[in-house]
Amino acid sequence: MGLTVGIIGLPNVGKSTLFNAITKKSILIANYPFATIDPNVGIVTVPDKRLEFLEQLYIPERLIPATFEFTDIAGLVKGASHGEGLGNKFLSHIREVDAICEVVRCFEDKNITHVEGDIDPIRDIEIVNVELMLADLEVILNRLSKISKKALLSNDKEAIKEAELLNRIKESLEKNIPVRKLEFDESELKIIKSFNLLTYKPIIYIANVGEEDLVGEESIYVKSVREYAEKEGSKVIKLCAKIESELSELNDDDKKSFLNDLGISESGLDQLVATTYSLLGLAAFFTVGEDEVKAWTFKKGMKAPECAGIIHSDFEKGFIRAEVMSYQDLFEYGSEKAVREAGKMRLEGKDYIVKDGDICHFRFSV
């Protein structure tokens, strides 16, 4: 299943440096606003240690990890919702992503100018978030002007329900409350889905720190970001984009050695990927064989036919059953044969809810 995460923030906060580290691509990095004009898209792999064991066991011709897209979007400025900077073009790019990573500058550097003149992470966050809320408010008001008339004149129950929902969202946005903080039932979710509201998307704040602040006591800048995120129920990842860029050039062994020297066990990018997966309620199932071992991303709660459909639509249409074993059982018993002999291999039907780490072989008929 396709997944896209957008990297946003004010100009010169480290977005493009971080994007380079994520994708190991070389894109323009410059000390001025809008160095990135068109969104740069890179495919990143999801680190999963389980694949190492599966590769050793099956010795496949191809090993394919789960992936998703990171999109580096041009720096936003105050007034973007009214056309400042790259304005609506910028905002339209954000509407296309599944989740938002907002990079916040938490380091001092006289050689890198700040678009607002000084370092203030909370001000920067609120500039971005207010612009997103204003853009959502415009969408809501436009729809309300149409649906309210219909609800009033025709007494249409569906129109009345939609108008009531949109008014609730409008009131929230006018109080600077993002849509993701509101609760909706299933019928309401169906209504708002088509609007692709920016502030309904889950968000992760990336506190981009200097090298000297990566370990040890956190700076007042990072602490303020954590406090802000905690109030709205969002996540924070602390990393140094410059160091992540250096790590991206190393092989696995050198990377581990570098991290050990820094006194940290996991890179910021690995934390970011894991957090993004968790935030979106995602997991992975595997298909295995001598030709290919592959990890497939799915939404937690999906049933076997839906997961089969991720591989190919015909698999879902003609689904018969799934042959399933858990990764943990395969790891413990050491082979498929031993798993079968232990009675741990299962045949599951259409109502089976796939679990993270399931190894599946789907039976289907077209």
Pairing of strands 358-364, 203-208: unpaired
| 182 pLDDT tier (thresholds 50, 70, 90) | very high
User: What is the per-residue pLDDT across 34-80, written as a single tens digit (0 to 9) for each?
Assistant: 334 355 777 778 888 999 999 999 999 999 998 888 888 765 555 54
Instruction: Find, among 84, 136, 111, 105, the residue nearest to 8 by Cα.
Output: 105
Q: What would the mean pLDDT of 299-313 be, rounded to a whole number?
A: 96
The one-letter code for the residue type at 311 is I
User: What is the per-residue pLDDT across 98-154, written as a single tens digit (0 to 9) for each?
Assistant: 899 999 999 888 777 666 667 899 999 999 888 889 889 989 999 998 888 777 777
Flag whether pLDDT at 11 surpasses 70.
Answer: yes
User: What is the per-residue pLDDT across 242-287, written as a single tens digit (0 to 9) for each?
Assistant: 898 888 888 888 888 988 888 888 888 888 888 888 888 999 999 9
| Six token digits for residue 34 | 């809008």
- d(CA 161, CA 165) in angstroms, rounded, equals 6
- d(CA 103, CA 17) in angstroms, rounded, equals 11
Return the percentage of the chain with pLDDT > 90, whole number. Answer: 51
Give the number of other Cβ atoms within 10 Å of residue 329's Cβ.
Answer: 19
| 366 pLDDT tier (thresholds 50, 70, 90) | confident
0.85 exceeded by the pTM? Answer: no
DSSP-assigned states of every residue in 326-352:
EHHHHHHH-SHHHHHHTT--EEE-TTP
Angle between the N-to-C axes of helices 186-193 and 157-174, in degrees from 0 to 180, rounded to the nearest 10? 80
Instruction: Find, among 318, 306, 280, the residue nearest to 360 by Cα.
Output: 306
Question: If you search the block for the tokens 């998307």, which residue do you land on?
Answer: 201
C-alpha to C-alpha distances, 345 to 324, 329, 336, 348, nearest whole angstrom: 6, 9, 8, 10
Flag whether pLDDT at 179 surpasses 90.
Answer: yes
- Is 99:204 a contact under the CB 8 Å cutoff? yes
Pairing of strands 99-105, 40-45: unpaired
- E runs forming strands in the chain: 4-8, 40-45, 62-64, 67-72, 99-105, 203-208, 235-239, 282-287, 292-299, 319-326, 346-348, 358-364
User: What is the per-residue pLDDT across 14-39, written as a single tens digit (0 to 9) for each?
Assistant: 888 888 887 765 444 444 333 343 55
User: What is the per-residue pLDDT across 317-359, written as a single tens digit (0 to 9) for each?
Assistant: 999 999 999 999 999 999 999 999 999 999 999 999 999 999 9
Report the SS3 class of residue 204: strand
DSSP-assigned states of every residue in 240-301:
-HHHHHHHTTS-HHHHHHHHHHHT-SS-HHHHHHHHHHHHTTEEEEEE--SSEEEEEEEETT
- Is 77:116 a contact under the CB 8 Å cutoff? no
- Is 359:286 a contact under the CB 8 Å cutoff? yes
Q: Report pLDDT for 147.
A: 85
